[in-house]
Structure 1
């Protein structure tokens, strides 16, 4: 009997492997012959967790906008899983130099771009093999797998492909199944690129994932992608520029992993490349953000993407199949875990070293400014588990962000202080440094993002520690309205104010606003101040309760007054005090627009402003009765020259002249500037006619002279213009290119003045700087009874440039 029991015990692992269904067995088709819908992926992961409860834990860490599940699978050996929380805690103690961790933590993230669809397929084969044939890796490694970061985008692509593919599938790249429409599957529900959102956390997927990621801070993180059909596979090491905070070990370990991948690719005769294109600088990627949190962050790129389908002919006549693509991502996924399993001690030692006290130049960042903007920044820091305090009454010396020189700032209990003397000091440096050091001007993304500029705050970067204390609790009482008041006043200088206004308008409360500064009861009020009178709202049922709710919901303090007679300025009945209309707003979507730029506007209305917007597609725009709308927004895009036919242009102009408000952004302005009825005109500069005799290779790099790779410039502001209410006389704008227009004769609200074409942060080429000198950023012009608003730079870029958003709200509510 003992022998039989022993024999049965020996066979148990074999039976476990044999009984565990592979993805192909579970799904009922060979992996790679069809695209798996999200609900089927969820089913398979749930099946594995039920079949392997001792070695796998499956967490639903959130839901998408379209209510799909966001999953995180944790797998390891039975012994490790029994001790999982202790393993995590020992690992996290490394941030303070403590603990005795003995396991490596690897996090594999799949399908952040929905139509880069192969990686979710590969994830299923990878987790199956880790639980079966490669289970030895799990003795020393805890593997966390997010099978699909972007389920909404992926299902959009998969459903589209299944709808339009040939049967059998067609490998001709010109066939419909290889050519997605405008509404592609790359981005999430709101058309945001989730791979640019790791640091900014504007999207629900990022916000929910960040909570789990910060519980683990893995030693190794891989972000699986796809690129063009004709590209071979890309894996680490990354390309220059590396941010200066990337450690020697992080660089070296990328090489170690890359060489291990190369071994398997060489054996199979697969092509690959390294050290090109994909750098480690911009902090909001799935490789850089983990790197700045102490891990080895990497991007893997398989050729294919949305054009590849189940199979496609490449430019050299080869056929790239979904099976090929799965095999490559599957191989690098397993190889990554293998390398981690062989370097556990080194990974743990270096993680501790990463979190040792750093001797960064700036030891403290002190910020003053609008309390609402300080609060918004503090909320972002909390999401990243970055520590912050408030200041004490002292004068701080250091680098002044406003001037780019040495300066001082008065610190108080209203100041925000972020110290580099904390575990997340590296992330603090990257997010707050005035200028990122560039080792190469040819980069994959923007080169400037410093949060004091993004949030519109006065800031000093100090080389010394700064006196600080823990933040006091906010004791302000919101939602208390004195019913016997004549009116209630609210300031206008932040997105919190805009949300407050939006809620009032949604509840049909009439709101006025001041075009001139005024003084009342000894208090000074600026342009844009909101005025809510009892007499305007005497017929609004439950007016007081609605006003209280709006105050409480938006944490908006109201000042009551018993009179409309001001001490200086204009009384409340003056023509300088206008009523804000409850607006019907439309935004154009479709081919002329960029999906990302459209998505930023859509997201702004529904997730930030909470105000309704209608989406009008270019397919039927010619049939739309524009008189039903007060505002039409034309997002940035490249297709306006073909969209703006004579018929469409006349339709829009006629609507504006009869009282409509047109907001043209980025490329949409190009489509208008050739029309003589619009006063905005492109800036023309003479090109250098000198012929360069440089080498072909050098001439390619020479083109960088004409580029601006996401740089910050200091602009002048005319805050008497309603488009600029709530702003001071300067604004730091993020320029993404050299698009430039001359000043408007009247209505230049924000502009680059003489000598302001040098970036305060980020890279701008010499020729590009000439082109943008003395040009418009934001402006307005009257046309008949209507208004045209021009936004050359994008105030809503990726949803993180917080200080630009009020310009957009002003365009909606303040410009008349």
Structure 2
């Protein structure tokens, strides 16, 4: 009878598709004992690791518990996410080292670049799941933390007595929580491995991204988000010897560890970095061989963009290492390599975490020496460089300039205000609005990369962008110099303007449209029910400070209109908060230009913006627009799924924004509703592929070359099969900077003062320049590539094409951007085009 019952039980498990749970100690080395006084992950969760996807609150609570129970662990909250989840960094070392953690940290930082001693500790930073739906990393972090806090073995003693392990258990708590909810809510008692099961097909937006649907693995350099800023601050306090970055990839793959393709490393990364990564890779291979796992290395992934977790450390002298595990995207999934269980994916991440420890200890001397060699070689590069550094200047927009400099500061890049006006090649850089970034400093390689305008590389195949020049992204005037100018080393700040005192008896109040925060100030005034006008042309007015010029786009608050009783108090508070000068105008009669009561002074009303997202649209680009409007304009924006437009009352909205997406199958009813709304006065804004859809619907009077049209310009005669990947690499624009020429008189250019505007391109969509006058706000000149790689065939297609087009459609307006003006939240130079499209659209009066 017992045999029959056991047979029945076995048969039931097989039929139900149940996957047996894996105990904590099954994931970890067999020769390890564990302190019974320290809670295991299973005890804390009430379930085996991998049985359910761990939520971030469970993960965070367990890390706090370990810190309370084990004298090998210390924990610090480094920051908070957009959704107010805590970011934790744990330090594991021996109890004795824990008592002297601050001293160990200080000694390491002070000793950077000096001779290394065999007694110096290795600092190993283990980072998990920057993409929230690549959850095996964060689930593995539970087990790694338990192993380091409670494990008892000779290997653990060797690791912790003389070294330090930093553990970042979740780089993206918001995304991890979103995905855990998705995977767990679709988990049945009977697991389903079918890839088409809803559990394995996330809804839009995916858990890969953070709160605003950004890819945090592209944000290490740009620091758009609090998660990245918190992490970089800790990174520079510790400067680890090795930093690991645990990811997942497609379910039908296997396991990847770096090095990737050697020819696709960043030019500023030393060859020794690749050699050490390879040495550590031998330990990963040996560990995976023992468990008979399939894997690959030295192919597919690159180490080029310094804004990724596995690559940013390379610019500073650390060894960054990427791991990619085939994803179960749930609890179990059928793949070309057989059934892939979530526990399998966790196991591999644990295995390569431990092989990282083993490889690092075996190569400890080489890793310690490398940081010394890195500094010495950097100093040699500085001596051999013909340049002394870069002078940067921004006269009118203090906010935009300060934001870029804050990124420099976060990366420990030194800069100094000029002590006097400096002339370089007929350009005068004024002391009060300029800084000098010297190359003779520790972050030399990162600085060279940030200012790079390189257009061709040893291998022109890119996994991500090929350029990230920050002054171009911020549209900051700069020039390289061979001799260092005189600087003021007493301060890292340029001079701050003194805000004028407002006069309660003023005829009107006004502020210019020059500062990056001007749209935010306008939005706040509208939200406070203040009546506002915008100048469609320049004027020279009498103010309490004397005569003053205002350019087109200036914002006017006339006291003749019905204004709140506390108008002056609101203006003063917002002026101080945003650092924008608001001026008191004493008369409606100007000495030059339009008068305050001119018909070119248009009333501005509160915009009601609808942002189209959902399945078929790019979650990244929708998130970038949402982030810009929410964070930089304080503007409420309604985000709706595309399919909801069939029943939505569009009359409730003044503006509608469409981004990159697939719009071939948009329902006819949506197009018809949109056509009616547009012709009745709506403002339709689109970028990239949305622009092609606008053109196909005859709203935009511009001919559009799609990516496939552009790709057809490549000759394919005499190509063999081996050339397939190379051709594909040439046919894409993998993130490059292009020059545009702005029509400064156009309403979309209000607030800009240079005809040259760098833009970011990561698509091959081309707008043919319209023949009709007045509708092209910006175009690409004949030679327009400024930085980054693009094949000559595509450059020729882009040359002379339109970048920004706008015209009337009935009573409405259509505005088209060929490029993504909010790319990764860091293109401050072009994101102002989006606020102009919203606020300055009433001035657009040109027929397409």
Contact 1:74 1:145 in 2 (8 A): yes
Is residue 390 of structure 1 aligned with residue 408 of structure 2? Answer: no
What is residue 320 of structure 1 aligned with on the other side?
Answer: 340
User: Higher mean Cα deviation, 331-340 or 452-461?
Assistant: 331-340
Deviation at 1:221, TM superposition (A): 0.5
Is residue 512 of structure 1 aligned with residue 533 of structure 2? Answer: yes
What is residue 5 of structure 1 aligned with on the other side?
Answer: none
What is residue 353 of structure 1 aligned with on the other side?
Answer: 373
What is residue 700 of structure 1 aligned with on the other side?
Answer: 725
Q: For residue 701 of structure 2, give the secondary structure of its aligned residue in structure 1.
A: coil
Give the TM-score normalised by the residue count of structure 2.
0.89
Q: For residue 760 of structure 1, give the secondary structure of its aligned residue in structure 2.
A: strand
Distance 2:583 2:638 in 1: 34
Contact 1:718 1:748 in 2 (8 A): no
Deviation at 1:342, TM superposition (A): 3.2
What is residue 44 of structure 1 aligned with on the other side?
Answer: 62
Contact 2:738 2:787 in 1 (8 A): yes
What is residue 438 of structure 1 aligned with on the other side?
Answer: 457
What is residue 361 of structure 2 aligned with on the other side?
Answer: 341
Is residue 488 of structure 1 aligned with residue 509 of structure 2? Answer: yes
What is residue 10 of structure 1 aligned with on the other side?
Answer: none
Q: After superposition, what is the alpha-carbon deviation per residue over 1:262-298, rounded to whole angstroms, capped at 9, x for unaligned? A: 1111222211111222212212100111111221011
Distance 2:715 2:348 in 1: 48
What is residue 401 of structure 1 aligned with on the other side?
Answer: none
Contact 2:611 2:658 in 1 (8 A): yes
Q: Matched residue pairs, number?
A: 788
Deviation at 1:157, TM superposition (A): 0.9
Is residue 734 of structure 1 aligned with residue 760 of structure 2? Answer: yes
Q: Are the structure 2 counterparts of residues 656 and 456 from structure 1 closer, same or farther at C-alpha, using a change threshold of 3 Å?
A: same
Give the TM-score normalised by the residue count of structure 1.
0.93
Distance 1:428 1:39 in 2: 38
Structure 1 unpaired stretches of 5+: 1-12, 398-405
Q: After superposition, what is the alpha-carbon deviation per residue over 1:346-385, rounded to whole angstroms, capped at 9, x for unaligned? A: 3333223323435343321111124422222112222222
Is residue 564 of structure 1 aligned with residue 584 of structure 2? Answer: no
Is residue 251 of structure 1 aligned with residue 274 of structure 2? Answer: yes
Contact 1:586 1:633 in 2 (8 A): yes
What is residue 712 of structure 1 aligned with on the other side?
Answer: 737
Deviation at 1:177, TM superposition (A): 1.4
Contact 2:134 2:248 in 1 (8 A): yes
What is residue 532 of structure 1 aligned with on the other side?
Answer: 557
Distance 1:427 1:814 in 2: 38
Deviation at 1:501, TM superposition (A): 1.4
Q: Are the structure 2 counterparts of residues 214 and 815 from structure 1 closer, same or farther at C-alpha, using a change threshold of 3 Å?
A: same
Q: Are the structure 2 counterparts of residues 348 and 686 from structure 1 closer, same or farther at C-alpha, using a change threshold of 3 Å?
A: closer
Distance 2:739 2:700 in 1: 27
Deviation at 1:394, TM superposition (A): 5.0
Contact 1:311 1:320 in 2 (8 A): yes
Contact 1:243 1:437 in 2 (8 A): no
Deviation at 1:395, TM superposition (A): 4.0
Q: Are the structure 2 counterparts of residues 725 and 385 from structure 1 closer, same or farther at C-alpha, using a change threshold of 3 Å?
A: same
Contact 1:740 1:775 in 2 (8 A): yes
User: Aligned ranges for residues 749-768 of structure 1 at < 5 Å?
Assistant: 749-757=776-784, 759-768=785-794
Q: Are the structure 2 counterparts of residues 691 and 621 from structure 1 closer, same or farther at C-alpha, using a change threshold of 3 Å?
A: closer
Q: After superposition, what is the alpha-carbon deviation per residue over 1:720-742, rounded to whole angstroms, capped at 9, x for unaligned? A: 11111112211111111210112
What is residue 610 of structure 1 aligned with on the other side?
Answer: 634
Q: Are the structure 2 counterparts of residues 749 and 367 from structure 1 closer, same or farther at C-alpha, using a change threshold of 3 Å?
A: farther
Deviation at 1:75, TM superposition (A): 0.5
One of 618, 631, 635 as aligned partner of 1:594: 618
What is residue 212 of structure 2 aligned with on the other side?
Answer: 190
Q: Are the structure 2 counterparts of residues 16 and 324 from structure 1 closer, same or farther at C-alpha, using a change threshold of 3 Å?
A: closer
What is residue 793 of structure 1 aligned with on the other side?
Answer: 819
Distance 1:409 1:698 in 2: 49
Q: Are the structure 2 counterparts of residues 698 and 689 from structure 1 closer, same or farther at C-alpha, using a change threshold of 3 Å?
A: closer
Deviation at 1:767, TM superposition (A): 2.2
User: Aligned ranges for residues 436-475 of structure 1 at < 5 Å?
Assistant: 438-470=457-489, 471=491, 474-475=495-496
What is residue 12 of structure 2 aligned with on the other side?
Answer: none
Is residue 274 of structure 1 aligned with residue 292 of structure 2? Answer: no
User: Higher mean Cα deviation, 386-395 or 218-227?
Assistant: 386-395
Distance 1:293 1:193 in 2: 22
Deviation at 1:390, TM superposition (A): 0.9
Q: For residue 738 of structure 2, give the secondary structure of its aligned residue in structure 1.
A: strand
Q: For residue 243 of structure 1, give the secondary structure of its aligned residue in structure 2.
A: coil
Distance 2:318 2:89 in 1: 18
Deviation at 1:167, TM superposition (A): 2.5
Q: Are the structure 2 counterparts of residues 38 and 297 from structure 1 closer, same or farther at C-alpha, using a change threshold of 3 Å?
A: same
One of 89, 104, 107 as aligned partner of 2:125: 107
Contact 2:695 2:704 in 1 (8 A): yes
One of 111, 135, 143 as aligned partner of 1:94: 111
One of 57, 67, 74 as aligned partner of 2:74: 57
Is residue 626 of structure 1 aligned with residue 680 of structure 2? Answer: no
Is residue 160 of structure 1 aligned with residue 182 of structure 2? Answer: yes
Report the RMSD for the aligned CA atoms in angstroms.
2.2
Structure 2 unpaired stretches of 5+: 1-30, 843-848
One of 138, 142, 148 as aligned partner of 1:124: 142
Q: For residue 664 of structure 2, give the secondary structure of its aligned residue in structure 1.
A: helix
Q: After superposition, what is the alpha-carbon deviation per residue over 1:396-442, rounded to whole angstroms, capped at 9, x for unaligned? A: 55xxxxxxxx8755352321211112222222222122327622111
Contact 2:133 2:329 in 1 (8 A): no
Distance 2:243 2:40 in 1: 25
